[in-house]
Amino acid sequence: MTMRIFIPRDAGAVAVGADDVALAFAQAAAARGAAIEIVRTGSRGLYWLEPMVELTTAQGRVAFGPVTAADVPSLLDAMAGNGQHALRLGVTDEIAWLKRQTRLTFARCGVIDPRSVDDYRAHGGYKGLDRALTLTSDQILADVTTSGLRGRGGAGFPTGIKWKTVAQASADRKYIVCNADEGDSGTFADRMIMEGDPFVVIEGMTIAGITVGATKGYIYIRSEYPHAVAAMNAAIAGARRAGLLGKRIGGSAHEFDLEVRVGAGAYVCGEETSLLESLEGRRGIVRAKPPLPAHKGLFGRPSVINNVLSFAAIPFILDNGAKAYADFGMGRSRGTMPIQLAGNIKYGGLFETAFGVTLGELVDEIGGGTLTGREVRAVQVGGPLGAYFPRALFDTPFDYEAFAARDGLIGHGGVVVFDDTVDMVKQARFAMEFCAIESCGKCTPCRIGSTRGVETINKIINGERVAENLAVIEDLCNTMKFGSLCALGGFTPYPVMSALKHFREDFGPAPARLQAAE
Amino acid sequence: MTVGYEPWDRARGAEIIAEHAGLEGATLVILHALQEAFGYVPEPAIPMVAEALNLSRAEVHGVFTFYHDFRKQPAGRHVLKLCRAEACQAAGGDRLAARAEAKLGVALGNTTADERVTLEPIYCLGLCATAPSAMLDGRVVGRLDEARIDALVAEAQR
């Protein structure tokens, strides 16, 4: 009997040897005349176990990992024999780290062949679109609105309201734009879903298109993600062949087609208006709002612009109903969030769960603390523009409002763990440096403020008039926060000020004015 | 010059530009295509792109210089990109970057004198759960340690 073996083609798995493992399987099987079928999947997101290889058995899929090419001959023996092996992790679905999750958006990621429309359909794909095609635009909008889905890119704006605005706008053309410029360090959920389940993104965008009356969509993927670009392009071609993109989608009267565009290494293009400029072929300079992209977006036409994960959440909502999605979560944060555990962490990877899990649970229980085994000192949540939280704030639940109340943000769901060797004044300086490198240059607080910020923090590091310079930093951060045009300049103060507030001891001697106040 | 790229040729450049000029907002697509063919965006191509898209030279030059990806001269034979963002910093990336700089004798953002290796910073490859990470000529590598970075540098120098 042919053995079905699943090996990820996800960039994160490839980076730790998945291609070598796949090659070793093919060669070893050929050498011994064993009949095997290798399916290259996405990643399940348990990165400390990558490359994780799975085998179809009577009990379901069984996982082995982390596998190296050298393990392959003994693994093949085990797979053909009684299945016992030192790397055996058990039935994949029973792995505690996976079982504890609520995978709505990532249900198929790592399971199916991302190049196969048929496999996608066989695992419940396109049911959302099938149902959407039987509904009116208003009915779909009602579903998206009641699901409580908020923009997963970071801003958390209600998706239903955005779509409704575009649906109500009248224009000769409208666009659907997918923001796949996932530049935040510590985030990789967009990359994973594009590589592991690209059809769910296509389906979500197609539903958006028929809802608002747009016939063309663009997926803007950053150039740092060549694997995701390849996966999306292959899936788009597959969807076209299957009649699920193009004219008369799924036999209906609707038309919708997609095109991938590749960024060119500018972080600021993750900001939606800068992304639109870039898509139009210009410098990625931020636009002033209003007008909102929903009124005047791509090429001046009404445009829905959403993050990859927002579109990827849509098929579940349409298929299972708004309530099924909204039943998860807390407060105004409904549904699930694909959280990404990264940096110096023992069990790093993708953990999709309902809003409400605390930062401490994520870092200590699920993440297992640091990989180095040292004390966790700081956790940056929400990318380079997110705040650094100390252990004292580990009771913060993962929720848009709860993080905002503590001067932080959940952003795109990245959690980067640092151990006690971190120097927080250097992290604060890096935040300013990064802003200086990536600023589009349009507004002064961001363009000049970030450079002055680096200079001033350098003075603090050198012990020059520390108290006065700390006051300058605070003042500068206020100017950037309230005076910048977009979140790059506006949110850079979060990592800087949180580092200063929670890790004051790293910023030179205590300033005289604070001592005087005590 | 990086292996596998064509030498600049005006007719070939014009052909590449014409291939994409009909797209909506084609500038970045064309610049990418030119760089893919020649390994960089040759200066004489800028006015050609401008003419094809009915833009000014200044506009195309502005786009070309805005984005970190576009090169105005060829890179070294191999390009080694090291992730310098927070997740990789947390996992010891600073030390490994310094080690690569010392081994190659150039700072990040530069090419070795023998034009073999261009060493560049990159801000996130999305491999943050297998940090620190790098990319050598399009191949991604994660879980870097001293031995792995040394091997990567040696491979790039070959």
A307, β-bridge pairs: A179
Do β-strands A175-180 and B78-83 pair in parallel, antiparallel, or remain unpaired? unpaired
pTM here is: 0.96
CATH of A117-326, one of 3.40.50.1820, 2.60.40.10, 3.40.50.1000, 3.40.50.11540: 3.40.50.11540
**How far lies A69's CA from each of A21, A48, A125, A224, in Å?**
5, 16, 33, 27
Whether A105 shows a pLDDT value over 80: the answer reads yes
DSSP A299: G
Domain A3-95 has CATH 3.40.30.10: yes
Domain A329-419 has CATH 3.40.30.10: no
pLDDT of residue A508: 81
pLDDT of residue A509: 65
Q: What is the pLDDT of residues B104-121, one digit of tens each?
A: 999 999 999 999 999 999
- Using CB atoms, which residue from A262, A299, A342 is nearest to B87? A342
A132 by DSSP, 3-state: which? helix
Q: What is the pLDDT of residues B44-81, one digit of tens each?
A: 999 999 999 999 999 999 999 999 999 999 999 999 99
Tokens of A252: 């209906």
Which stretch of A29-33, A422-426, A513-517 has the lowest confidence by average pLDDT? A513-517
Tokens of B73: 């001269």
Cβ pair B129:A299 closer than 8 A: no
| Whether A43 contacts chain B with CB within 8 A | no
Cβ pair B128:A340 closer than 8 A: yes
Cβ pair B129:A345 closer than 8 A: yes
Give the mutation candidate from B64, B127, B152 for the A interface (greatest A CB count, under 10 A): B127
| Cα distance between residue A384 and residue A433, in whole Å | 11
| Cα distance between residue A247 and residue A90, in whole Å | 46
Whether A374 shows a pLDDT value over 70: the answer reads yes
Q: What is the pLDDT of residues A122-143, one digit of tens each?
A: 999 999 999 999 999 999 999 9
CA pseudo-torsion sign B7, B10, B16, B20? positive
Average pLDDT over residues A487-509: 95
| Cα distance between residue A99 and residue A405, in whole Å | 31
- Using CB atoms, which residue from A50, A267, A350 is nearest to B123? A267
Kindly identify which residue of chain A lies nearest to residue B81, measuring between CA atoms.
A224
Whether B3 shows a pLDDT value over 90: the answer reads no
| Whether A224 contacts chain B with CB within 8 A | yes
CA distance B114 to chain A (A): 26
CB of B118 closer than 8 Å to CB of B111 = yes
Q: How many other CB atoms are found less than 10 A from the CB of residue A205? A: 25
Q: Return the domain boundaries, chain B.
A: 10-66, 78-157
Q: What is the pLDDT of residues A207-244, one digit of tens each?
A: 999 999 999 999 999 999 999 999 999 999 999 999 99
Among residues 139-198 of chain A, which lie with CB inside 8 Å of chain B?
182-188, 190-191
* Chain CA centroid to CA A444, Å: 30
| Whether A401 contacts chain B with CB within 8 A | no
pLDDT of residue B24: 95
Q: Return the domain boundaries, chain A.
A: 3-95, 117-326, 329-419, 424-517
Q: What is the pLDDT of residues A147-194, one digit of tens each?
A: 999 999 988 999 999 999 999 999 999 999 999 999 999 999 999 999
Cβ pair A47:B130 closer than 8 A: yes
CB of B64 closer than 8 Å to CB of B41 = yes
Q: What is the pLDDT of residues A453-464, one digit of tens each?
A: 999 999 999 999
Whether B123 shows a pLDDT value over 80: the answer reads yes
| Cα distance between residue A316 and residue A320, in whole Å | 6
Q: What is the pLDDT of residues A287-318, one digit of tens each?
A: 999 999 999 999 999 999 999 999 999 999 99
| Cα distance between residue A363 and residue A347, in whole Å | 9
pLDDT of residue A331: 94
Q: What is the pLDDT of residues A321-369, one digit of tens each?
A: 999 999 999 999 999 999 999 999 999 999 999 999 999 999 999 999 9
CA pseudo-torsion sign A62, A66, A72, A78? negative
* Chain A residues whose beta carbon lies within 8 Å of the beta carbon of residue B24: 280, 299
Cβ pair B126:A188 closer than 8 A: yes
CA distance A346 to chain B (A): 9
- Using CB atoms, which residue from A48, A182, A343 is nearest to B126? A182
CATH class, domain B78-157, is: alpha beta
Do β-strands A257-262 and A175-180 pair in parallel, antiparallel, or remain unpaired? unpaired
Phi-psi region for residue A514, left (φ > 0), alpha (ψ -120 to 50) or beta? alpha
CATH fold for the domain made of A424-517: de novo design (two linked rop proteins) (1.20.1440)
In sequence order, the 6+-apart residues with CB closer than 8 A to the CB of A47 are: A12, A13, A16, A348, A349, B129, B130
Tokens of A458: 């350098």
